[in-house]
Amino acid sequence: MGSEGQTERLILRPLEMADARQMQALFPQWEIVRFLLNRVPWPYPPDGALLYCRDIALPQAARGEAWHWTIRLATEPSQMIGLISLFKGAWDNRKFWLGLPWHGLGMMSEACVWANDFWFDNLGFPILRVAKAVSNYPSRRISVKQGMRVVTVVERDYVSGPFQAEVWELTADEWRAWKNRGD
């Protein structure tokens, strides 16, 4: 299980079953799901978030395979605004989505700095890899801005269809250098 975290504006709280209700209200939006892998059911069923938390995310966390945090504003901690997750494995080590009202405010960039620190410093993994659709501009920008490199391009099946995906990589040393950069 992950521990609770805090950034300048955000609280990162380990996912619980009780979060399914707010997740169900925020998540099923085309702008959120279109560049997620097509294992996300679409149209999203009314119990989609409950099934995701109960049968997928929380069991992964219990097995020590993944760490999931709801994202909350420090000013309004009772309201979940998104989710960020870390996963063991070769690819897809970090995934995230944010509710539409909070897009474009730098929230996920801020959450990713915290999650990257957790990945490298708390969990001690040497490399973080994430695959993302080339057309997913906001997500791509987060990788560009935070010092990641593209290592390969593959085709993947997203909710909106097959698209080219770039696999981005970041080593622990690169991350520490990025954090100590002087700009």
| Nearest CB to ligand COA, comparing residues 64 and 183 | 183
d(CA 40, CA 48) in angstroms, rounded, equals 9
CB of 69 to ligand COA, least distance (A): 13
Q: Residue 133 CB, nearest distance to ligand COA (Å)?
A: 7
Per CB under 6 A, residues contacting ligand COA are 32, 35-36, 96-98, 103-109, 132, 136-139, 141-142, 145
Q: Among residues 145 and 176, whose Cβ is nearest to ligand COA? A: 145
CB 75 within 8 A of CB 102: no
The H helix count followed by the E strand count for the chain is 7, 8
Q: Report, in Å, the least distance between residue 94 CB and ligand COA.
A: 9
The least distance separating ligand COA from the CB of residue 108, rounded to whole angstroms, comes to 3
Residue 9 in contact with residue 113, Cβ under 8 Å? no
Nearer CB in complex with ligand COA: 34/88: 34
Q: Which is nearer to ligand COA, 89 or 173 (CB)?
A: 89
Cα–Cα distances in angstroms (integers) from residue 122 to residues 37, 161, 177, in the given order: 27, 36, 17
Closest CA to 160 of 53, 29, 49: 29
Q: Residue 153, Cβ neighbours under 10 Å: how many?
A: 11
State the nearest-atom distance from the C-beta of 145 to ligand COA, in Å.
5
Nearer to ligand COA by Cβ, of 46 and 104: the residue is 104
φ, ψ of residue 137 to 5 degrees: the values are -55, -50
